[in-house]
Structure formats: structure tokens, C-alpha cells
Amino acid sequence: MIKPDSAFARPVQADFGGWLAQLDSFVGQSLGGRLTGLAMARLFWGADAELKMQDRTLEPAVFSQRFSDTTGTTPMLHGYHVQTEGVQFRLDTSRVDAFIAAEIEHLTENPETRRWHAGQMLRYMVEDAAQAIGINGFEARRGADLFVSAAADPALRPRLLEAIRFWDGGGLARLLEEVRASRLSQHPLMTQTRVARVAATLADRRLQPAFQDAVRAAESPTRFSAWLRTCLLNGLTARLKDLFVHLGRGDDRQVIGHVRLPAQFDGTTDDVITVCEAGAYGDGTTRAFVERIGQVSTEWMNDFVGLCPNAEEDALLRTALGRRERHVEWRRIDPNDPAALATWALELGQTPDRPLPASLLRIFFDTERIGGERIELYDLAIAAAQAEARLRQEMGRQPSAWEHVSAVIAAAEAEPRSAPGRLLAAYGALEDASQEGSLSAESRLADQVYRLGAHLCVDGCQACVHHSSDLMSETMAEASTSRRLLQRFLAS
């Protein structure tokens, strides 16, 4: 919780471009004043835990704890309240309004991207509703993943709507197990036992109104606009927090980012982002940030906030894999010849000072030898790309990493002569090798596909907007941020 006193605000000169209306700092008085003008309360209401057993045959045990008074009957918040130092970024509301309106029009013409945002909205709302009634956060996250996959499947979505409408616990359990088997079979946290436990947990009738609302929420223009604004503000908060730590040379564990998100406040916001220090009166990070912020250019600022190295590597890989007519020539390149690699990099649009990523070289030149079988990783990567294209067409959106991996394993089982099928058979034929759990042939192949075919940054990753949040769980923060949305806003 943040409570600023505008009388203590000190304007800071910085050129962020047209999207920032005002930047204010709050610092302590040099003569020992006890007020900085920025009051911060950090409160905690509970904790979730998941205990893994030494016996791998046993499923993890989950616990949820809600803090209470000494009698154990009355809920109680625990935390602290301090006067701290920090800065407030006041966005240009008219600029944000215009961008969100334009983005709604853009998504109307790009239904695949719209379905992605709608799926993330569903993921957030399901997890939020489950945690609101005390369900463990780990269980809530798995339930949200299953709901999103079911909602994107043309055959399973009607059954999901029916199970929620008539609240059939048995039907919901059967549906979620079918989702696991058909869409998320290789997800390491989605075993049959865990999914059954998640289904039993989510069968609480108190969740029915929230789930009914969640699966239809994106159909409301007002609520969907508020969701896009939430994703923009939350992602921008994460990046501005990184900027604050970088320029202030501080400790990110001692810095807090705060914003009033429409998703948490029934659609309302003030478009003000606060980044402050976690301790009383700060440790100098705010003062160092204020001193340096005026020395950087707008271009550097927007690049720091908006660019993602993982997304750039993803784009390069997809560009290379998409130019099938050049693959024969490229695979003749000597990977140990720097001049040949530099020429290839220029053809792919890379600048001379940036080498080709190791993942690209691995795909085009490496092989996997299992027993007597030799499989070109190039063939495996092409099969993974084709599976992703099929999934995008079926689901109407970009698949998640584990939806993609699970689809490749299913194709390998159905087509034993394909590159994934041959590699699966080779893993299964390993002599004296364990074939249980994560060492099974399917899991070994899933690991290869994940490393070769999964995107490093679908619409956010730890290199850009996916960071731990001071406002919600880590998985809810991932759902309510969007790298693409942030980049389009900065470029608008």
C-alpha cells in the first residue's frame, strides 16, 4: 500500500518521450526531517507451500496458511509501515487511452493475438478466484493452465462451459483429465494424480459464479479494455522497477513496484506507477536514480524498458526456420568458419557485432546419437515447427510451451517413422536405462523438444516483463503482463 503526500514531491527532469506526463521523487530532508512524503505499508496475509517427498512415487503435499491472531480465529495481516524514498511515474492518461482504443481495433483484425490475451485473462481470473477462497496457489495455477487449454480446444470448450453451468464435479474431473491427456500430457507438474486432486479442489461450488464470469469476461469490450490496460501497466511497472535498480545501483530485493491495476480495482486506475525502497528512509538508491535519470537519452530509455534479448533470438530462429528454400545451402556452411557465419548472420539481418545464437547453430549442424540411431536435430526442429503451426490453427492462438511439446510427443507416437518418432523409439530401446518418470522415453524426447522448439519468450519472460511481483503471485504476474503490448505502446 502506498500513500504519497504531494506537498513533498520534487519534480525530476527526464525525457521518457510523450507517454510520461510527470516524474516526481520523494526523499528525506537533509536536516533530519522524519517525513519523506511517501508512506509505504507492506502487508502479508498468508503463505502457500508445496513439499516434495524423497520417495518419488509420492505426490507433493500442498499447504496453505492464513495468518491469524493468537486465538487462531480472526484473520490478521502481518507486515510493517515506514516512511521511505522513491519515485512516481505519472503516465499521460490521454496517451494510454488512445493506445488502448487503437489496440482494441488492432486485435479485431488479429484474432489470434486477441485469443492469446483472452486466454491470459481467463488464466488470471481462474487463479485469482481460487486463491480468494483459500485454495493453495500451486493448485490454483495448475487449474488455471487446464482451464485455458480446455477453453482453446474447439472440442473441449463446450464441455467446459457445460460443466461450469451445471456444476458437475465428476464431469469437471473427467474433462480436466482429458485436457491433461490430450493437451498437456508432458507437463512435468500435470500427473494424473495431481490433476485429479486439482479437479477435486476446484469442485467447490463457491467457485461456480467466478468461473462462469471468467470464461465470458473477454467478450465484454469494457472489461477486455481494462484487461489490456492492466497488462500494459503491470509490464511497465516491472520494467521501470528494473530501470530504477539499474540506474540507482540498488538491490532489487529491496525495491518495491506498485500500481493500481484495473483488474484488481474493478476497472479503475490512476495511471501512476510508484517505485520505492523497501526500508525506512531508503539506502541511497532513489537519490542515485534521480541523479542519473537526466543523463540518459529517450532512445536508450525505451530500449531498456521495451527490448527483450530472448524475443530477438526467438525472432531470428523463426526467420531462419521459415526460409526453407535456403536451408540446404545454409547446412553446408562450416560452423567453425567465422567468415561464413558472419555472412550468414548478415543474410538473417544480424548486425556484424552480434554473433549467431548457439541454439541456431545447434539446430542446423548438431545430431543426436542414441544407440545405433542418428537423428539430425534439424529434422526434429522442423517437425516441432510444423506441430506448432498445426496447433496455432487448431487453437486459434499461439500455444504454450507445454502444449507445443505435448503435441510433438503425440505426433511422435502416431508417426514412428518421423524424426521425433525415431528418436522416441531410440530412447525407449536404451539398454539398462530407467524408463520411469522423468527418465522415460517420452520425457527424454520432451526435454529435447522443449530446448529446440519452445519459444524463449512467448509474450514475456524473465528477461523482460516476467518478474516477481509485490502485488500478486508470480504466476498471476506472468498472466497479467505482455511484452508485445508494452513494445507497441513505446513505439506508438
Cα–Cα distance, 472 to 462 (Å, whole number): 16
Quick one: average pLDDT of 304-318? 93
More confident residue, 182 or 52: 182
Lowest mean pLDDT among 47-61, 188-202, 354-368, 451-465: 47-61
Q: Where residue 32 falls among pLDDT bands split at 50, 70, 90?
A: low
User: What pLDDT score does 54 carry?
Assistant: 80
Q: Where residue 436 falls among pLDDT bands split at 50, 70, 90?
A: confident
Residues paired with residue 43 on neighbouring β-strands, in sequence order? 79
Write out pLDDT tens, residues 398-421: 999 999 999 999 999 999 999 999
Write out pLDDT tens, residues 63-113: 788 888 888 888 888 999 999 999 999 999 999 999 999 999 999 999 999
Q: Where residue 33 falls among pLDDT bands split at 50, 70, 90?
A: low
Return the residue matching grid coordinates 485455458.
Answer: 148
Domain residue ranges of the chain, discontinuous segments joined by +: 309-452
Cα–Cα distance, 349 to 366 (Å, whole number): 23
User: What pLDDT score does 75 carry?
Assistant: 85
Q: What is the pTM of this model?
A: 0.91
For residue 244, pLDDT over 90 is answered with yes
User: What pLDDT score does 134 carry?
Assistant: 85
Q: Which three cell numbers stand for residue 197?
A: 486432486
Q: Are the beta carbons of 419 and 379 closer than 8 angstroms?
A: yes
State the SS3 of the chain.
CEEECHHHCEECCCCCCCCEEEEEEECCCCCCCCCCCEEEEEEECEEEEEECCCCCCCCCEEEEEECECCCCCCECCEEEEEECCEEEEEECHHHHHHHHHHHHHHHHCCHHHHHHHHHHHHHHHHHHHHHHCCCCHHHHHHHHHHHHHHHHCCCCHHHHHHHHHHCCHHHHHHHHHHHHHHHCCCCCCCCHHHHHHHHHHHCCHHHHHHHHHHHHHHHCHHHHHHHHHHHHHHHHHHHHHHHHHHHHCCCHHHEEEEECCCCCCCCCCCCEEEEEECCCCCCCHHHHHHHHHCCCCHHHHHHHHHCCHHHHHHHHHHHHHHCHHHHHHHCCCCCCCHHHHHHHHHHCCCCCCCCCCHHHHHHHHCEEEECCEEEEHHHHHHHHHHHHHHHHHHHCCCCCHHHHHHHHHHHHHHCCCCHHHHHHHHHHCCCCCCCCHHHCHHHHHHHHHHHHHCCCCCCCCCCCCCCCCCCCCHHHHHHCCCHHHHHHHHHC
User: What pLDDT score does 31 carry?
Assistant: 59
Quick one: average pLDDT of 349-369? 90
User: What pLDDT score does 63 carry?
Assistant: 79
Cα–Cα distance, 215 to 213 (Å, whole number): 6
More confident residue, 433 or 378: 378
Quick one: average pLDDT of 424-436? 85
Among 49, 63, 64, 59, which residue's Cα sits nearest to residue 196?
59
For residue 288, pLDDT over 90 is answered with yes
